[in-house]
Chain A
């Protein structure tokens, strides 16, 4: 897109296309991927759009190669991204752990489909939310954003690149088949600036893994800029050398990798709320079920129910404080999700029995209808 323009452009895009527009606006110039339903359109459009920008699109031999090439490009100096779904995302998990450990800023788009295994390739699911947080071995934290429209697919992908660079962490965009394939209006604001990678302030005595008081690293140099970097998937000291023989150093690094995300969660949170002031029954939603949920909340209010709406756009780190605050006000929290009921467990954990929490799972590749959510909102408080 043309950054000179300051006029908002309006396009009709499916979510997968909006992801590409968001990535390119952010300055993504490297994409490595492998075809998989329902994410393939992202690779197809990248293959058309990146080369004229001087960027690189590569169809790799598999998803393992895709994630590793993406990480390689990130250390090579590019804003880099990959996209896949179910089985492909599973194959990428070792690479995502490597990116978390080496603090590689990459964006991974998961257009979620029904699982497990080959599952339901052409139908939506939200069964990979737990995987996104903890799919690779070992302790680490990532950031995951969940769009519920083409507009959000654009905006959250753009933000994903900014977050990845700032926190030096893999950032997921957890889209799904419904968002990926729904074609709707997207406003692309003019004058959007590409995300810039911060260079280290220090050069002379630069230590690639020396964190500040905020647990974040001092920018990120690329290879061949004279820093002679040592990047290693082994737990390492501040200079990059392995520290397997130094238990304290290893423990501190693991803790910092988690704390640099959880400790900044209030800066990362992004919630959209409606009608919370007087709400007694609140739908806590994310991704595609947030669409019927808003309709249901409005319908319930039309019928006199004090219904409220909280859409979580940043599912990881989990917005603990905001949900806990709801528990003090609302009598019931309803959590619609396209899985057996996963995020509802997090909601129960942070509300700690202080309010009723109702799980509204939906499987089989279908989306909740507004009426299904409305029916729950209309129910009386359970004994």
Chain B
């Protein structure tokens, strides 16, 4: 265990329940490094959803709420609004966030509530054994798309942006350093910050969709489907077809954050929340 792990993990909760080579551990590492760099351990409130990625905050020794499937964002809303000073970080998966939790996702983004949402996208329902997700590629065969997925996947970052998120970024689990810096930036950003992490699920997505259970090969395959924001400006629409844009995709510092707007508008205390 490296020093950051020694410092931040709940020893009793170990070992991680994730399969060998799963991207969630890398994302956990990037998150605790971001928390360490900002020195905000006692100010964070972590919320996890249901699914493999929802376990990330369970292993982090800070205040953690392991919530219900799809409902991370309402729980996070209650935590944030009962004390707007706390830094709420949500860990959710593509199914948790975009499937069962899709309505909460667009509304929390619309409010521009100051929380950080890290959505781990492995393109499949991993914990239940490899069923089709709202992010599964078109035509991909999964346990519940036996003849191929007839549906187009969501672009989660575009959805976040149009819904009202004011910080939107996408990385893969292979971009551990950039991801950690981006998480720190998202926590510091005052508003709804959304980070999608394309992560390898060797056991389910790897075997079922991509034909490989090798974590590195799978992550390379995913990475090959990405284009950095910088290089994208030089490419035409055809070259960008089916690619994930990587980097900070949207950063709007001008829009008023929800709790500020709420407490600014409401009541004679002039914007001060209850002690």
Q: Is the CB of A77 within 8 A of B75?
A: no
Over the window 301-341 of chain A, the binary record of Cβ atoms lying under 8 Å from chain B Cβ atoms (1 yes, 0 no) is 00000000000000000000000000000000000000000
Over the window 157-173 of chain B, the binary record of Cβ atoms lying under 8 Å from chain A Cβ atoms (1 yes, 0 no) is 00000000000000000
Shortest CB–CB separation between residue B18 and chain A, in angstroms? 15
Over the window 218-231 of chain A, the binary record of Cβ atoms lying under 8 Å from chain B Cβ atoms (1 yes, 0 no) is 00001110111111
Q: Is the CB of A72 within 8 A of B65?
A: yes
Size of the chain A interface, CB-CB below 8 angstroms: 47
A105 at the interface (CB under 8 A from B): no
B74 at the interface (CB under 8 A from A): yes
CA distance A68 to B78 in the complex (A): 7
Q: Which of B13, B104, B269 contacts A65 (CB 8 A)?
A: B104
Q: Is the CB of A230 within 8 A of B66?
A: yes
CA distance A74 to B73 in the complex (A): 15
Size of the chain B interface, CB-CB below 8 angstroms: 43
Interface residues of A in 51-66 (CB under 8 A from B): 51-56, 58, 60-62, 64-66
CA distance A148 to B67 in the complex (A): 35
Shortest CB–CB separation between residue B152 and chain A, in angstroms? 24
CA distance A222 to B13 in the complex (A): 21
Q: Is the CB of A98 within 8 A of B64?
A: no
For B61, the chain A residues whose CB sits under 8 A away are 228
For B64, the chain A residues whose CB sits under 8 A away are 228-231
Q: Is the CB of A80 within 8 A of B42?
A: no
- Residues of A whose CB lies within 8 Å of any CB of B are 29-30, 32, 51-56, 58, 60-62, 64-78, 80, 94-95, 98, 222-224, 226-234, 239, 241-242
Besides A54-B275, A56-B262, 18 more A-B contacts (Cβ < 8 Å) are A29-B274, A32-B74, A52-B266, A60-B107, A61-B103, A61-B104, A68-B75, A73-B82, A80-B82, A94-B68, A98-B68, A223-B45, A223-B63, A224-B44, A226-B42, A228-B61, A231-B66, A239-B12
- Residues of B whose CB lies within 8 Å of any CB of A are 10, 12-13, 42-45, 47, 58, 61-68, 71, 73-83, 85-86, 103-104, 107, 262, 266-269, 272-275
Residue pairs across A and B with Cβ atoms less than 8 A apart, 30 shown, are A51-B266, A52-B267, A52-B268, A52-B269, A62-B103, A64-B104, A65-B71, A65-B77, A65-B103, A68-B74, A71-B78, A72-B74, A72-B76, A72-B79, A72-B80, A75-B65, A76-B78, A76-B83, A95-B71, A222-B83, A223-B63, A224-B44, A224-B85, A228-B64, A229-B63, A231-B64, A232-B58, A233-B66, A233-B67, A233-B68
